Amino acid sequence: MIFKSSNTDLNVVDGVGFLQFPALSSLDFLNHAFSTRLGGKSDGDFRCMNLNFKRGDDPDTVMENYRIFCKAAGFDFDSLVSSSQDHNTFVRKISKKDCGIGITRPHDIESVDALVTDEPGVTLVTHYADCTPLFFADPERKVIALAHAGWRGTVGRIGNNVVEKMIQEYGCDPADIIAVIGPAIGACCYEVDTPVYEQFASLTELKPAYFTKTLGHGKYLIDLKETNRRMLMEAGLLSINISVSDVCTKCNSGLMYSHRASGGKRGGLIAMMCIRK
Q: pLDDT at position 177, please?
A: 99
Any domain includes 60 = yes
> Can you tell me the mean pLDDT for 16-23?
98
- Spatial contact of 89 and 154, defined as CB atoms under 8 Å apart: no
Any domain includes 164 = yes
- The rounded distance, in Å, linking the Cα atoms of 116 and 180 is 15
Which of the 8 DSSP states describes residue 215?
E
> Can you tell me the mean pLDDT for 97-112?
97
Q: pLDDT at position 160, please?
A: 98
Distance of CA 191 to the CA centre of its chain: 20
| pLDDT tens sequence across 193-241 | 999 999 999 999 999 999 999 999 999 999 999 999 999 999 999 999 9
Please state the domain count of the chain. Answer: 1
| pLDDT tens sequence across 131-169 | 999 999 999 999 999 999 999 999 999 999 999 999 999
Any domain includes 210 = no
Any domain includes 206 = no
- In total, the chain counts a number of residues equal to 277
Any domain includes 17 = yes
Q: pLDDT at position 2, please?
A: 77
Any domain includes 122 = yes
Any domain includes 136 = yes
Q: pLDDT at position 190, please?
A: 98
Any domain includes 214 = no
Here the CATH number for the domain that contains residue 35 is 3.60.140.10
Q: pLDDT at position 1, please?
A: 65
Its domain, for residue 161, covers: 9-185+241-275
Give the mean pLDDT of the chain: 98
Strands 30-35 and 16-20, bridge-based pairing:
antiparallel
| pLDDT tens sequence across 162-183 | 999 999 999 999 999 999 999 9
Helix axes 158-170, 224-234, angle to 10 degrees: 30
Write down the number of H helices and E strands in the chain. Answer: 7, 15
| pLDDT tens sequence across 52-96 | 999 999 999 999 999 999 999 999 999 999 999 999 999 999 999
Distances, alpha carbon 25 to alpha carbons 87, 102, 115, 149, 248, in Å: 28, 26, 20, 22, 21
Exposure string of 66-94, with b = 16+ CB inside 10 Å and e = fewer, is bebbbebbebebebbbbbbbebbbbbbbb
Strands 114-117 and 91-93, bridge-based pairing:
parallel
